Amino acid sequence: MANYNISIIKGDGIGPEIVDEAIKVLNVVGKKFDIGFSYNEFLMGGCAIDATGNPLPQETVDGVLASDACLFGAIGGAKWDSLPRELRPESGLLRFRKEMGVFANLRPAMVYDELVDASSLKPSVIQGVDIMVVRELIGGIYFGEPKGKDEFKGWNTMVYTVPEIERIAHVAFKLALKRGKKVCSIDKANVLDVSQLWRDTVIRIGAQYPDVELTHMYVDNAAMQLIANPRQFDVMLTGNIFGDILSDEASMLSGSIGLLPSASTGLKTAVYEPIHGSAPDIAGMGIANPIATISSASMMLRYSFGEDKAADAIDNAIKKAMKDGFRTKDLAAFGAIEVVNTSKMGDIIASNI
């Protein structure tokens, strides 16, 4: 029997509700495939500020690094927006990613056949979309030095080193080998020197993967192409700020941000989380969509634990729930036979397993 130690960060807003449903599904799939899970819960974000005065307590860093992987909900809310920037939940999240060394953010954007009408784009444009955005997560302009502001100006510096680009490029090419064998690298090499270094390095690494087709696209064109012809993309490789924007754009191809998971992997550990935020306006109402978090648990099984059959079981259980017409409130207008609350959706997916 395989046993895995999972660190849990539920966070703020709807975080506790959606993480609880993912744990429910993990427990069921664990029984089916003879997999044992132990859970240790830690604080980060606004709840950590309230409890300790620190958005990222050292206990959380140590606990997550000692685990096999981390399942994370969401953090933040207006309650903490008036704090100094370095004490806000989002600052804790940036420090968390850096401490974990999770340099590769994997964000799939796929369209369920049953929800093709949920997108604002025509079904003929998005039917069959299945994109993996590979975003470098702990470099680039969010972490570059120098940075600062005075009364008259603010400045941030986009910095990438060759080793940082090499390691994220390897992740993208290895993923492409298991998918459609295409990588499109997104940059702004016609304007930015750092992007030219990015492109040169990706080309050199790409030569090590002759079975993968490598193309390049400027970020502004990529933003347009995601809307005009998203099916052209398989793996999109990009830096931190470009990936931040493009992955959110890609996520809306599906029609709901509540559907899509993400993985942040690195040399020390991996963190799995939904791409959406903490949605404090609906916290405690039981209407949050837990599918993105449940899908994140599936990614954890697949990428951290190598439990592909268990991951497939979760993915198929979600598809069956969609096919059978069960919807949370955010998707009620799209083929709903029954609109269910957060907990009921978790129950349905668990029972499908």
- State the Cα–Cα distance between residues 316 and 309, nearest whole angstrom: 10
In the set 160, 188, 209, 272, the catalytic residue is: 188
- State the Cα–Cα distance between residues 300 and 318, nearest whole angstrom: 16
In the set 68, 98, 130, 142, the catalytic residue is: 142
DSSP conformational letter for 289: -
Q: Which residue has the tokens 């998918």?
A: 179
Q: Reply yes or no on whether the pLDDT at 112 is more than 90.
A: no
Per residue in 255-286, pLDDT (tens digit) is 777 888 999 999 889 999 998 999 999 999 99
Q: pTM of this prediction?
A: 0.89
Task: Give me the pLDDT at residue 15, please.
Answer: 97
Q: What is the 3-state secondary structure (H, E, C) of 162-187?
A: HHHHHHHHHHHHHHHHCCCCEEEEEE
Q: What 3-state DSSP class applies to 216? A: strand
Active site residue 244: yes
Contact yes or no for 76/94 (Cβ under 8 A):
no
Peptide bond before 146: cis, by omega within 30 degrees of 0?
yes
What are the residue ranges of CATH 3.40.718.10 in the chain? Answer: 1-102+258-353, 120-254
Active site residue 220: yes
Contact yes or no for 348/20 (Cβ under 8 A):
no
Chain centroid offset of residue 50 CA:
26
CATH for 1-102+258-353 is 3.40.718.10
In the set 113, 220, 281, 324, the catalytic residue is: 220
pLDDT-based confidence at residue 76 (cuts at 50, 70, 90): very high
Task: Give me the pLDDT at residue 325, please.
Answer: 95
Active site residue 248: yes
Active site residue 200: no
User: pLDDT > 90: what percent of the chain?
Assistant: 86
Contact yes or no for 76/45 (Cβ under 8 A):
yes
In the set 20, 68, 130, 248, the catalytic residue is: 248
Task: Give me the pLDDT at residue 86, please.
Answer: 86
Average pLDDT over residues 238-248: 94
Q: What is the 3-state secondary structure (H, E, C) of 230-250?
A: HHHCCEEEECHHHHHHHHHHH
Q: Reply yes or no on whether the pLDDT at 225 is more than 80.
A: yes
In the set 244, 303, 329, 330, the catalytic residue is: 244
Per residue in 12-54, pLDDT (tens digit) is 999 999 999 999 999 999 999 999 999 999 999 999 999 999 9
Contact yes or no for 7/40 (Cβ under 8 A):
yes
Active site residue 142: yes
Burial of 124 (0-12, 13-18, 19+ CB in 10 A): exposed
Average pLDDT, the chain: 95
CATH for 120-254 is 3.40.718.10
Q: Reply yes or no on whether the pLDDT at 9 is more than 80.
A: yes
User: pLDDT > 70: what percent of the chain?
Assistant: 100
